[in-house]
Structure 1
Amino acid sequence: MAAHYVTAQENMVELGQALGREEGAEVAAEHEARVREDARVDAREVTTATMVRQRVEAALGPLERLVTVCEKATAFPRELQRLLRDFEAALKGTNEASPDVPEALVAMVAKAEQLWEANARLAQEHLLETLQDINFYFTGDLTSPSDCEVAKRCRRATEDIPRLLQPPECPQSIPNVSPVSVELQELSPALLQPPVAVVATLDDLLATLPRRDMMLLRSAESLHWSLADFTRGLWATLYRIDGTWWQQNVSSDDDDPPISLSQALDAYKSTPGTPRNRVTTVVSKWQGSVATLLDSWVQLAGAATELSNTCREVATEAADRVATATARAMELQHKAACGRRGPRW
C-alpha cells in the first residue's frame, strides 16, 4: 500500500508538471476527495463492527442462561421416567388371576398423567403461540408483537402453572380413590417452569443480537442459521408434549383406539384374568415418548452450547474487523492530509 501511494504521488507530480499548476491542483483535490471518502467508509465500518461486537458480547449472558434452562427442562421427563420405572416394578407384584392393585399404583399413574397433561396444556395454551410471536427475527415480519408483549406472555404462562397443576374436578380416566387428589396437589411447579424460561430467554437473546443485515461478518451468518435451527428444535420439543401427539403414540395396539395408562390399569384392576402385559405395553410406549422428549431437551442444551461458541467467534471476528478498519481509516486520513500538503507545482 505504501509503494502504491508513493507511485500515485509521483504520477500526480508528473501530471501536475504536464498540466500546469491549476490543472495539477484539481487532480490532487480529486485524489484527496476519493481518499477521504474511502476513510469515511472505513470509519462507518468501524462503527458498525463495534456495535456488533458489543451486542454479541452482551448476548453471551442470555446464551449461558439458555444452556442452563434447557438442562433444567430435562427434570420433567426424568421425573416421569422415575414414576414409570417405579410403577412398572410395583406392577410385577400383582396377581393377574385376581389383581389386587394397590391404591399407591393408582395414585402414581394419576400423578404421571396429570404432570403430562399440565405440561401439554402449558405448551398448547401459552408456549407454542408465544414462540410463534418471536419468529419475526427470522421472518422479518414487522406486524409481529414487540419483545415486551412476548415477555408478558411468558409471565402469564408462569402465573398460570399453579392452575394447570390443579387436579381435575371430574377426572374421567382416573379411578375414584382418595389418595389421588392428595397426590396431585403435591405436584411441583418447578417441573413446568423451565420451558417457559427457555422461551423467555430465547426472546431476550434475539432482542440483544443485532439484526442480520447489520452483522457484516462471515461467522454471523452461521450464528443466524444456528439460531433458526434451535428455534425449530424448540418448537418440535414443545409439540412433543402435546396431548394429542402423546395419545397417538401410546396405545396397546395400533388397531385399537388410543387409551391412557390409567384406563389400562383400571381395566386390569376391574376385570380378573386381564393380562398384565396390556398395561406394561402401554407403559413401554409411554416410556418411549418420555425418552424422546428427554432426548430433545438434551439436544437443545447441546445446541445452546454450540450457539455460545459461535457467538464468541462472532465477537472475536468483530473485534478483528474493528482493529483492521480503524487502522485502514487512519492510514487513509493520513494519506489525504499528505495529499493536501503535497508538492507544489
Structure 2
Amino acid sequence: MQNIYLKIPFNDTCMKDFLSTYLLFVFICIIHSAKSQQYPCTYWPAPCPNTTAISQADDWSVRKGNGAIDQGLAFQRKIRNQLTEVLQKAAKQNGWQVYQLTDEYFDGPPFQFISFANWEATPYEKRPPVWDDLAFILVVNKDSLTQWRKWMEEFQQNLEKNVNVQSFDAMQNEQTKNTATFTEGSIVLIHFGINPYNVTTGMQDEGQHSLIPQYALKVPGAFYAGLLINKNPPDINAYELTYKGYFFNSPAAVATILFGNFQPKNAFNNWRPVFEKPFTSSAATLNSEKAIKCDVLQNLAIHIEGREDKVKNIIQTLDWNTIHSMIGK
C-alpha cells in the first residue's frame, strides 16, 4: 500500500504562532502543577531533597541484595556524616542552612567486565572501592530565598490572570532572568564524589569534553583546584538539575577540587584515580587482596556550583584541613 501524505502550507509566521501557543500551553500546565502541589518541600523553590534516594541509601537489607557489603555501607555512612558535619559547622558559623540533596550510590560491580555473580562472591579483602555521589544545598541567603518564593507566588497569580500568546515571551524572559538571579543569590550546590572512577569539571562542550577551569584555586592539601566561569548566559533550564541529580545544567561558576592521587587528564579533560589504573580485567581486579581496603577514602572529588562570589566564599569558609585528613581513612 502506498503511503499518502497531506502537505499543508505552513510559513514561518504560522510556525512561530503555533510554537508560541504550544509553549504557552505547556507553561500553564507546569505552573498549575506547581501550584496544585503547594510547597513540594520546605526549601522550595530551591531544589527539593531526593528523599527516595536518601532513604534507600540507608536501606541496608536491600542494598546487600544489590551486592553491597557491611564494611562498604558503614564506610559510606561514616563519610556522609563527616562531610555533613563539616558543612553544618560552616553553616552555623555563617548563618546559613544546609540540607542533603541526594545520595546517588551504586552497589553493583564497578567495572563492566565484572559479572554480578563474581562481584557478589568477592570478599571484603579483595574488593576495590565503589563510587558514591553525595550532594548538598547551602542556603547562603535566607532573605533571598524568601523573596524568591514570594516572586514565584506572585508570578503564578499574574500568569493565571493575564496569560496570552502576546505576553508569553515577556513572561518567559522574566522567569529566566529572575530564576537565575534568585538561585544565584540564595543557594550553592556542593557535590562530593567519593572514590570516583571518572571526574569531570561539571560542564561539558558538545563533544562531551570537560570545560577546563580558567583559574587556579588555593585549597590546602588538594591534588587540584580550579574555578570554571561559564561564558554562556543562563537560560530557563540553567539551574535545573541534570539527569545525574547532583549538577546544575549550566551554573554561573563551578569549582572543581580533588583530593587523593589522580592520573593526568585524559582526552576528554577528565580525571581518573590512580587506584583504578591496574584494574584491567576481572582477574586483575578481584583475585588479589588490596593494600588499601574498599572502605577507605582514597579519592574525593568536590564540585561547588553557583554564582562566582558565592562559590569563592564557600571555598574560603570550608575546613579543608579536616576534609584532607579524611583521605586514607
What is the TM-score with the length of structure 2 in the denominator? Answer: 0.24
Structure whose CA Rg is larger: 1
Indicate the structure with greater helix content: 1
Indicate the structure with greater strand content: 2
